[in-house]
Each structure stands twice: as structure tokens, then as C-alpha cells.
């Protein structure tokens, strides 16, 4: 074990209360336990401990908002730096693979049952649900609209944060549990729920919600205004060289867009966020990395109008102040009158959140007021045979929370079939 990792492993106190696992981690990974195994250089044991709760350690170890989740609940973090849990999780996955260990080594071989489940969508929630069903002997088939699995993990997150090789190794591990895949099959286009409902004992929907939310301002229909989610997913970037770009939003998608566009040669990239820096939902590390790479930030600013003749030429912004509204513990941004100003810009990228595809309305399932599929505490939809998870069901927008919904849905599906 290299010295740097050894020091980080030994830094863990192996707390009895385990707040990092029970409070911080959406998947309740057995964090102190796998770190103690690392301490003994028992790499397979550490990997096996992680696999009890997750099938995405190589992914979550790299891209989870650790400061807000596991590391944010670490006892060490009260008076100093928290344990580098994410780095150690990623290291465990990498080391296990280096030594030739895989998920199939972590689970007992179980004879296939005469039960079939369809997973619609091969992102984090779908892959996790598929894996936890397959390891219990359920015959699982994934229907995927692309010719690859991974969803946003594959193209929604830049290589500099999550190398494609890690996703490919993770997907292969999961499929080796005995899962079938039907590629290039998009629900609502190539098949419907009714087409497959009678072929399976249950169906799990996990097609995500990757349509960028609009700003709702004049001029957003102009050429040169893009949705951040689509830019990352489809990788259809314009030529940014010599151009000025504004990214509006404060989450990790906004940081991914800004950093990607900056690396693609833009002259100037500015993130516009209507609240203060400390209120940004993006991880602090991602914000700092963006700054280090030359991305500019305009905090407490809001876009009110986009100007141009067919294509974007200028944007009008207004400054904001933060006030405490009655009954709300969070400071809210309010526009400051007569503080409007205009700046030249070539492209604007909206990274303000996302919503499901339009065809979700045609699935015949109850939706909530945000347009997500309504699920109960067991992730069951208004159709008792159909379950849903991840962004599609309005689950908190991190990979770990999506994976949690897939795992818990798998448990409930097992219970009912």
C-alpha cells in the first residue's frame, strides 16, 4: 500500500456510532468496516464489504458530493479534516480490479428462479436494481435506448471527473451477474409498457429526467442558448474557441459544463449564480477546481433577458440581495431595482435543474406536481406491477441516492414476486 493511502486509512477512528455510514451515506455503506479491511491490506475483503451495500464503489468514490454526505458526517471533521472516504472507496474498487476480483466473487452463486423483471434504463438506479435482483437469482433484462449502459455516468459526467474505463468496468461487473440487455430500445418509441407488461413479473423504470429546465426569460429561444444536461449527455458542443460563454446555475452540472467548455477553448467562461457562493449546491472541490482552471464567477446575479437577432449577442443581468423571508430559514435572492446591466456573450448554458421527458406523461402512471412519476415508500407506482426510481421518481439528485432507490426497489420487488 502506498504511503499516502496508508496514512488516510490509519486516520479513520473506526467509530462505534458510524455517522459516516448511518447518517452521511445514502447507501449506508459499511465505511469503517471496509477501511479496517484496507488497514490489513485485505483488499478483497474490503471490496466484498462495500458490495453488500453498493455495486458502484468505483463511481461513487469519485463523484459523490462527499463533503455533504459521508465526509460531512465524519467525526474527524468536527475538529479537523474528515477521513478521505471517497478516495478510499475508489481505491478499493481499483485495487480489487487490479488483483482480479469482481462482483461475481462477492456474491454466492444462486440458481436462477422462474421470475423475470424488466429494467427500463441502464443508469445508476437501473444498474443497481438489476444487480441486486440478479444476485438473488431473478432473471433480469435491461432495456436501454443507447448502445451502451451507464446513463449519465457515461456521457453526463466529464472524463476528468469520471474516466469512461471506470464506468465500463463497473457495467461489465454488473452484467457478469447474468443480466441480459436489449440495446437501442427506447420506451415510447420502440416499445410501450403494455407491450412488455405481461412478459415480466415486475418492471422497474429508471429512464432519468435529463431535460434541462428553462430560465423563463425573454430570448431563451435564440440560437446559442443550450441546456447543460443535453450538452453533456450528447456531447454536441459548438465551437467555443474565442467565444464568451455564460453558464447559469450553481450545482455540479453547472460546474461540469463550465469546466468542460473552458477546456474546449472558450475565451471566457462565467458562472452566473443568483445566490452567494456558500449557498451553491455544487461541491466545494468542484467550485475550487473550476476557479483554478480559470472559470469566472458572478455571484448574486440573475439573468433577466437574452438579447440578439436570431442568435445570442448580449445578456441583461440584474444584481440580487439576500433576505430572510418569514418562515424560511434559508436566505432568498431578491432582485435589486435599477441594478441591471448588459454584457456581450456568444453562448448561454442553462444548468438549473432538469425534468423528465415529455413522453413520461403517456405512460399511464400517476405523476406528481413536478412531472415526476409518483411512487410510494416501496417505489411502487400507480400500477402495482411497475416500480420507478432515480431522477424519474424525483429522488434526490445524486448518483448514490439514485442507486439507493434502485437497491431498495429491488428489495421490494423481491418481496412482492
As a whole number, mean pLDDT of residues 118-122 equals 97
**Model confidence pLDDT, tens digit, residues 165-184:** 999 999 999 999 999 999 99
Residue 358: pLDDT above 80? no
Decide if 91 contacts 35 (C-beta within 8 A): no
Q: Buried (b) or exposed (e) across 193-221, using 16+ Cβ within 10 A?
A: beebeeebbbbbbbbbbbbbbebebebee
Provide the pLDDT confidence category of residue 353 given band limits of 50, 70 and 90. confident
Query: How many beta carbons lie within 10 A of that of residue 170, not counting itself?
Result: 26
CATH fold, domain 212-353, is: FAD/NAD(P)-binding domain (3.50.50)
Which has more confidence, 297 or 212?
A: 297
Residue 336: pLDDT above 80? yes
> What pLDDT is recorded for position 245?
98
Residue closest to 193 by CA, chosen among 363, 20, 382, 77: 363
Dist. CA 137–CA 113, nearest whole Å: 5
Q: Where along the chain do the CATH 1.10.1060.10 domains lie?
A: 3-105
What number of H helices and E strands is found in the chain?
Answer: 15, 16
Q: How far is CA 32 from CA 56, 83, 357, in A?
A: 18, 10, 40
Q: How far is CA 204 from CA 8, 97, 132, 275, in A?
A: 39, 29, 12, 37
Homologous superfamily, domain 3-105: Alpha-helical ferredoxin (1.10.1060.10)
Tally of CA atoms within 13 A in the half-sphere of 307 that contains its CB: 10
**Model confidence pLDDT, tens digit, residues 225-256:** 999 999 998 888 999 999 999 999 999 999 99
Q: Where along the chain do the CATH 3.50.50.60 domains lie?
A: 112-209+356-416, 212-353
- Which set of grid coordinates corresponds to residue 331? 436566505
Least confident window among 114-128, 241-255, 353-367: 353-367
Query: How many beta carbons lie within 10 A of that of residue 366, not counting itself?
Result: 11
Residue 20: pLDDT above 80? yes
Say how many residues make up the chain. 417
Strands 244-248 and 268-273, by their bridges, are parallel
Least confident window among 65-79, 136-150, 358-372: 358-372
Decide if 386 contacts 193 (C-beta within 8 A): yes
Query: What is the rounded average pLDDT for all residues in the chain?
Result: 94
Give alpha helix (H) positions in 276-398: 284-292
Question: Residue for cell digits 480489487?
Answer: 96
Homologous superfamily, domain 112-209+356-416: FAD/NAD(P)-binding domain (3.50.50.60)
Question: Which DSSP state fits 415?
Answer: H
> What pLDDT is recorded for position 119?
98
pTM equals 0.92
As a whole number, mean pLDDT of residues 327-356 equals 91
Q: How far is CA 300 from CA 255, 273, 339, in A?
A: 17, 6, 12
Residue 328: pLDDT above 80? no
> What pLDDT is recorded for position 322?
94
Amino acid at each position: 500500500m502506498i504511503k499516502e493511502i496508508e496514512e488516510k486509512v490509519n486516520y479513520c477512528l473506526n467509530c462505534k456510532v458510524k455517522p459516516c455510514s448511518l447518517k452521511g451515506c445514502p447507501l449506508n455503506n459499511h465505511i469503517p468496516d471496509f477501511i479496517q479491511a484496507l488497514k490489513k491490506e485485505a483488499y478483497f475483503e474490503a471490496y466484498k464489504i462495500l458490495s453488500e451495500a453498493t455495486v458502484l464503489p468505483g463511481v461513487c468514490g469519485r463523484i459523490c458530493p462527499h463533503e455533504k454526505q459521508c465526509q460531512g458526517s465524519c467525526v474527524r471533521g468536527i475538529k479537523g479534516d474528515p477521513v478521505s472516504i471517497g478516495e478510499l472507496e475508489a481505491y478499493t474498487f481499483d485495487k480489487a480490479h487490479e488483483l482480479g476480483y469482481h462482483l461475481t466473487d462477492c456474491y454466492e452463486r444462486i440458481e436462477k428462479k422462474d421470475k423475470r423483471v424488466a429494467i427500463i434504463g441502464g443508469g445508476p438506479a437501473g444498474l443497481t436494481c438489476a444487480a441486486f435482483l440478479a444476485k438473488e437469482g431473478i432473471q433480469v433484462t435491461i432495456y436501454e435506448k443507447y448502445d451502451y449502459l451507464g446513463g449519465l455516468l457515461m456521457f453526463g459526467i466529464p472524463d476528468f471527473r469520471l474516466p469512461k474505463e471506470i464506468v465500463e468496468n463497473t457495467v461489465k461487473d454488473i452484467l457478469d451477474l447474468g443480466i441480459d440487455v436489449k440495446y437501442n430500445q427506447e420506451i415510447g418509441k420502440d416499445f410501450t409498457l403494455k407491450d412488455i407488461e405481461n412478459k415480466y413479473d415486475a418492471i422497474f423504470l429508471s429512464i432519468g429526467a435529463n431535460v434541462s429546465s428553462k430560465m423563463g426569460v425573454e430570448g431563451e429561444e435564440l440560437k446559442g442558448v443550450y441546456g447543460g444536461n443535453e450538452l453533456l449527455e450528447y456531447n454536441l458542443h459548438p465551437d467555443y474557441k474565442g467565444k464568451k460563454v455564460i453558464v447559469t446555475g450553481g450545482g455540479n452540472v453547472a460546474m461540469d459544463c463550465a469546466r468542460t467548455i473552458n477546456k474546449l477553448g472558450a475565451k471566457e467562461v462565467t458562472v452566473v449564480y443568483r445566490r452567494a457562493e456558500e449557498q451553491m449546491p455544487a461541491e466545494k472541490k468542484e467550485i475550487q477546481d473550476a476557479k483554478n482552471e480559470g472559470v469566472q464567477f458572478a455571484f448574486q446575479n440573475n439573468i433577466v433577458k437574452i438579447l440578439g437577432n436570431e442568435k445570442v449577442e448580449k445578456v441583461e443581468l440584474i444584481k440580487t440581495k439576500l433576505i430572510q423571508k418569514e418562515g424560511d430559514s434559508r436566505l432568498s435572492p431578491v432582485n435589486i431595482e435599477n441594478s441591471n446591466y448588459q454584457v456581450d456573450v456568444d453562448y448561454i448554458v442553462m444548468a438549473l435543474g432538469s425534468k423528465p421527458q415529455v413522453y413520461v406523461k403517456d405512460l399511464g402512471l400517476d405523476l406528481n406536481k413536478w412531472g415526476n412519476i409518483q411512487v410510494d415508500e416501496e417505489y411502487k407506482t400507480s400500477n402495482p406491477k411497475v416500480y420507478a426510481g432515480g431522477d424519474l421518481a424525483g429522488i434526490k439528485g445524486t448518483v448514490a441516492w439514485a442507486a439507493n432507490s434502485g437497491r431498495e426497489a429491488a428489495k421490494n420487488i423481491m418481496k412482492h414476486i
